[in-house]
Structure 1
Amino acid sequence: MVEDNRKFSVVIAGGGSTFTPGFVINLLKSQDKFPLRKLKFYDNDAERQKKIGDAVAIIMKERAPEIEFSYTTDPKEAFTDVDFVMGSIRVGKYEMRSYDEKIPLKYGVYGQETTGPGGMAYGLRSIKSIIEIIDWMEEYSPNAWMINYSNTIAIVSEACRRFRPNAKVINICDMPIDLMDRMAVIAGRKSFKDLDFKYYGLNHFGWWKEVRDRKTGEDLTPMLKEYVAKNGYWVGGEYDEHTEASWEATFKEAAEVYQLDPTTLPNTYLQYYYFPQYEVKNADPKHTRTDEILEYRQKLVFGECERIVKEGTAKGNLWDYSEVHSEYIVDICHAIAYNTHEKFLANIPNNGAISNIADDAIVEVPCLFGADGVQPICQGEAGRLQYGMINEQVTCEKLVVDAYEQKSYVKMLEAFALNKTVPDASVAKKILDDMMVVNKPYWPDLK
């Protein structure tokens, strides 16, 4: 419940995102813990944002007419008088994501949104825009906090560490929480909020050391390991009724990923690093995850927005359900606003959080969230396997930011060539040269 009478102003940077309506519904459901006085959208694509914004305006009028709502493409209007900025941008939209996936596959390397060459290409595209949003926030609302969940998080976080080290920005990801929600169901609990945990690694590149019942302290790790060894993170039944086929395969494949280190529970994205040849063999170069999204989620969301505008009502909309992603962000905002020091994951400079990893590495670890930002909780040493993998991946991420800072083709080539998903430097060069062409409007001019 709310601890005082304050109400907050929020701007969603990336108002045209297909995730925005669901997030808004969750914000409205959470007025008892994070009350709003104003909600704004900002996007540089006016047409796309209007489709979402006009539908959300009807949702707001029906459910919370007392909250002022608007959407704009003007940064000054968007970022003036806000307490929280929610970063949900996709530079280059799905057109560029499709290239991120398909170009590597052309050369026998898996194409994925946040890992391998695709993830590094996306990260390089994102840096300029994230820094721009931070600067607008600091200019027009200097006391605001930015909660950024725009990918590629590890690379964006490294750019923030270098170029805006004092900015009030916290980089987060909900993927571990999504997996913990599955763990909760497997363990007979209601949600991820019923679990406590020890976790360490990088974004989309981490391991659970331990999972316990938050109230009783019961160690659930042995039972979860036994389940994951056989089934991965697949739950099935009603829980997975609407889970897409590609995600079903991912959750099930966690059983194979687990075998490489049975002392921990793995993040599912490790499959792309452990089994890159398998991933390529089972991928369709002409029909990737982006195509699935365009055919399903984007069509569904924009179709629903069109229906709401046409009928003039949002009654019975498809977002009236609890969404882990949105709940998590609202909980983080509540923790910062009311200084509760609750425990969530953040991507931060290591500074001893993983004792045998360099201080300037961006790591993903549990932190206490409060009005002064985040305080990392030490997770001890990384295991030998994890130590080697983390250092290799951190170096790739730093090389991408080097490439941005120095406008260096060689640094970007080094990042691609070093990455565990790429077989050799000649393949890395072919991928990079193709990436250079399509990313020309977004990347710095690499020399």
Structure 2
Amino acid sequence: MEERKTIKIATIGGGSSYTPELVEGFIKRYNELPLRELWLVDVEEGKDKLEIVGNLAKRMFQKAGLPVEVHLTLDRRAALKDADFVTTQFRVGLLDARIKDESIPLKYGVLGQETNGPGGLFKGLRTIPVILDIVKEMEELCPEAWLVNFTNPAGMVTEAVLRYSNFRKVVGLCNVPIGMEMGIAKLMNVDHSRVRIDFAGLNHMVYGLDVYVDGESVKEQVIEMLTNPDNTSFVKNVQGQGWEPEFIRSLNALTCPYHNYYYKMPEMVKKTIEAAEKEGTRAEVVKQLENDLFELYKDPNLNIKPPQLEKRGGAYYSDAAVRLISSIYNDKRDIQPVNTINNGAIASIPSDSAVEVSCLITKDGPKPIVIGDIPVAARGLVQQIKSFERIACEAAVEGNYDKAVLALTINPLVASDFLAKKIVDEMLEAHKAYLPQFFKEPVTTK
């Protein structure tokens, strides 16, 4: 029997507190995914964290008795050279940038959130030029590799790669759909392997159009259970207040936790402002959580993923990420929800746009399952967010101030050109160091 090729994986943003979650996934699936080398890459600002989390990764593989070489580097090109898969989980500007993303909008009575509204726009503006640089390097150094992007805003980042590069081996990934699956499994008191949801929409704007247990639809039963406010949130960092029974029954689809920001905007703005005044923004809470986690990671006796990591909000990341990589590598042809090119799967979204949809996962990547369309009640909101993402990508690539204002005006969490301009002005200045495309010197002619 021919021995299978072992693989090299490069993780950009390797100094992230999420890395032990990823390593745990590689350990659990080692029998089906023969990892040879894991390259953890970071930037100079993240060097100390890279050393800490990288050494924990080495201890985890050692405890598991697996011959995986862990390389720690600030040299992205060395990490990418001949990689089979590249995963991205980086944050341009680190958590200090996220704090600004969340706190500045609140001053204007607008939701401050990492991937939605102004925060999502500015995270995209900072991230898109970097991801496009990474893709260029991949085309040169590992053209056959798959890019598995976990960096938020995952949908917008995937859109930018599809629209502004010739690179097509990109999949955007989020832990929200798998979190919804896990939540439904818990509600139904069944194992996760027995649950499947037909997902369609966009990243952080995805709907469950049907839900199955052992292949039988249980959607009506689940929706009735979701009229109980204790059953409606499956992500630790997005806690809603429960849906009105009339709303969730009429919508006739499963919502994701991020829908709270759109269908409960006044309540969520109020709640977010109150939480920020009481304990700081979510980013400030996460920063303290990360400090505590890295203190744990420093312990030379620690050789497992600590349970405290779940408070960080990245639960099931390893299940989602490593499951996807293994399915591509092994041509499993199983069904998973990912961000990929639409190709007609959702009728009301352009075929060349990125969508989050259930796909058949093959050695040639995700093949979207054609679902026809999303319910008319949800369609307008999804199209509005896709318009926002498209214009935001244009603004990021061109360094176009006017389009940044337009994108934020389109976004339903702002919906005011006056507010959009004020917020963009302040956030551009706050993030100036990471947005060089907006501060180019004017060309002068004699």
Shorter-chain TM-score above 0.5 = yes
Which residue of 1 is the match for residue 287 of structure 2? 294
Match runs of 1:369-384 below 5 Å: 369-384=361-376
Matched, 1:274 2:263: yes
Deviations 1:425-445 (A, max 9, x none): 111111111111111111243
Which residue of 1 is the match for residue 104 of structure 2? 103
Deviations 1:384-428 (A, max 9, x none): 222211121111111111112322111000011111011411111
Correspondence for 1:228 among 226, 229, 233: 226
Which residue of 2 is the match for residue 408 of structure 1? 400
Does the CA-based 8 Å contact 2:359-2:368 persist in structure 1? yes
Deviations 1:152-175 (A, max 9, x none): 112111111112233321112121
Structure 1 letter corresponding to 2:282: R
Does the CA-based 8 Å contact 1:13-1:87 persist in structure 2? yes
Matched, 1:253 2:242: yes
Shift of 1:6: 2.8
Does the CA-based 8 Å contact 1:258-1:265 persist in structure 2? no
Deviations 1:210-260 (A, max 9, x none): 1011x3x2211111101101135358xxxx9xx85x54x33x535679538
TM-score normalised per structure 2: 0.90
Which residue of 2 is the match for residue 39 of structure 1? 38
Give the stretch that moved more between structures: 161-170 or 150-159: 161-170
Matched, 1:58 2:74: no
Correspondence for 2:387 among 367, 383, 395: 395
Which residue of 2 is the match for residue 199 of structure 1? 199
Does the CA-based 8 Å contact 2:399-2:438 persist in structure 1? yes
Deviations 1:155-199 (A, max 9, x none): 1111111122333211121211101100011112112x3212222
Does the CA-based 8 Å contact 1:257-1:266 persist in structure 2? no
Match runs of 1:30-429 below 5 Å: 30-44=29-43, 45-64=46-65, 66-191=67-192, 193-213=193-213, 215=214, 217-231=215-229, 233=231, 247=238, 249-250=239-240, 252-254=241-243, 259=248, 261-284=250-273, 285-286=276-277, 287-296=280-289, 298-308=290-300, 311=301, 314=303, 317-318=306-307, 324-429=316-421
Deviations 1:79-129 (A, max 9, x none): 123211111111111001011111110100011111111111101111111
Structure 2 letter corresponding to 1:146: L
Give the stretch that moved more between structures: 13-22 or 383-392: 383-392
CA distance in 2, matches of 1:128, 1:59: 34
CA distance in 1, matches of 2:134, 2:393: 18
CA distance in 1, matches of 2:332, 2:378: 32
Give the stretch that moved more between structures: 132-141 or 180-189: 132-141
CA distance in 2, matches of 1:433, 1:399: 17
Q: Unpaired runs of 5+ in structure 1? A: none
Q: Unpaired runs of 5+ in structure 2? A: 440-446
Does the CA-based 8 Å contact 1:25-1:319 persist in structure 2? no
CA distance in 1, matches of 2:266, 2:48: 40
Which residue of 2 is the match for residue 438 of structure 1? 430
Structure 1 letter corresponding to 2:316: V
Does the CA-based 8 Å contact 1:109-1:276 persist in structure 2? no
SS at match of 2:434: coil
CA distance in 1, matches of 2:384, 2:161: 20
| RMSD (Å), alpha carbons | 2.4
Moved over 6 A (4+): 319-322
Residue 220 to residue 446, structure 1, CA distance change in 2 (3 Å): same
Does the CA-based 8 Å contact 1:153-1:173 persist in structure 2? yes
CA distance in 2, matches of 1:62, 1:114: 36
Structure 1 letter corresponding to 2:195: L
Does the CA-based 8 Å contact 2:146-2:170 persist in structure 1? yes
Give the stretch that moved more between structures: 384-393 or 102-111: 384-393
Structure 2 letter corresponding to 1:212: Y
Does the CA-based 8 Å contact 1:110-1:421 persist in structure 2? yes
Give the stretch that moved more between structures: 23-32 or 54-63: 54-63
CA distance in 1, matches of 2:109, 2:245: 21
Structure 2 letter corresponding to 1:219: S
Residue 315 to residue 170, structure 1, CA distance change in 2 (3 Å): closer
Which residue of 2 is the match for residue 5 of structure 1? 4
Shift of 1:208: 1.0
SS at match of 2:351: coil
Shift of 1:361: 3.1
CA distance in 1, matches of 2:295, 2:243: 34
CA distance in 2, matches of 1:402, 1:257: 39
Give the stretch that moved more between structures: 50-59 or 72-81: 50-59
Does the CA-based 8 Å contact 2:395-2:404 persist in structure 1? yes
Does the CA-based 8 Å contact 1:257-1:274 persist in structure 2? no
CA distance in 1, matches of 2:393, 2:351: 17
Does the CA-based 8 Å contact 2:108-2:419 persist in structure 1? yes
Does the CA-based 8 Å contact 1:225-1:262 persist in structure 2? no
CA distance in 1, matches of 2:143, 2:355: 26
Determine what percentage of the aligned residue pairs are the same residue: 29
CA distance in 1, matches of 2:149, 2:104: 27
CA distance in 1, matches of 2:293, 2:145: 30
Residue 120 to residue 144, structure 1, CA distance change in 2 (3 Å): same
CA distance in 1, matches of 2:116, 2:269: 13
CA distance in 2, matches of 1:302, 1:255: 40
Residue 253 to residue 320, structure 1, CA distance change in 2 (3 Å): closer
Deviations 1:274-310 (A, max 9, x none): 22211111123441111221222x12320111112xx
Does the CA-based 8 Å contact 1:17-1:88 persist in structure 2? yes
